[in-house]
Amino acid sequence: MAKRITPRFLLGLEYNATVGEWTPTANWTLLPETDTLPLINLGTSSDRIFSPPGKQSYYVTFAKGIASTPLSPWASLSYSEWEERLLFAFGCNVSLSPSWDFMPMLDGRNTHLLLTYRAENKNISLLLVKMRYPGISVGFGF
């Protein structure tokens, strides 16, 4: 669940059914993407998939769409409370259609695949976690 406080600031909660935990999320767009500059975003959320309960991640992400292609690569530097260290994550969002995206990614330790269907104020992602565990993520905006 997420609520856009301003056009560039989003607050929310995420629920991890595996451990029965709610954690806060926040995203602040410092710089929107332009023709020449990448998006720069600061945020926090639960630490990586399979992290223990109560561990947050704090990150800065850079993303830039490649003109005339469906590709939007991104890279992120995050601090993991679980590992108490910085991690380098990266991936590439591939727009398959106006409603469907595919994203291969490395979270700093493990590789995952996501296939996401987006609609107004909601999304659902099918995941292949660590390239072997199926999963699902559901998001709602309000």
Instruction: List residues bridging with 127 in a β-sheet.
Output: 114, 135
Entry pTM: 0.86
Helices (H), 1-142: none
How confident is the model over 97-136, as pLDDT tens digits?
999 999 999 999 999 999 999 998 899 999 999 999 999 9
Query: At a CB cut-off of 8 Å and minimum separation 6, what does 70 contact?
Result: 94, 95, 96
pLDDT digits (tens, 9 = 90+) for 72-106: 999 999 999 999 999 999 999 999 999 999 999 99
Residue numbers of the domain that contains 85: 2-140
pLDDT in tens, 37-78: 999 999 999 877 777 788 899 999 999 999 999 999 999 999
Strand 56-63 relative to strand 85-95, pairing:
unpaired
Neighbours of 100 (CB within 10 A): 12
C-alpha span between 126 and 102 (Å, rounded):
10
Query: How many structural domains comprise the chain?
Result: 1
pLDDT confidence bin for 142, thresholds 50/70/90: low
Assigned token pair, 137: 């993520």
Residues whose CB is less than 8 angstroms from the CB of residue 93 and which lie 6 or more positions away in sequence, other chains included? 63, 71, 72, 73, 74, 101, 102, 103
The sign of the torsion formed by the CA atoms of 30, 35, 38, 44 equals: positive
- The Cα–Cα gap between 78 and 59 comes to 4
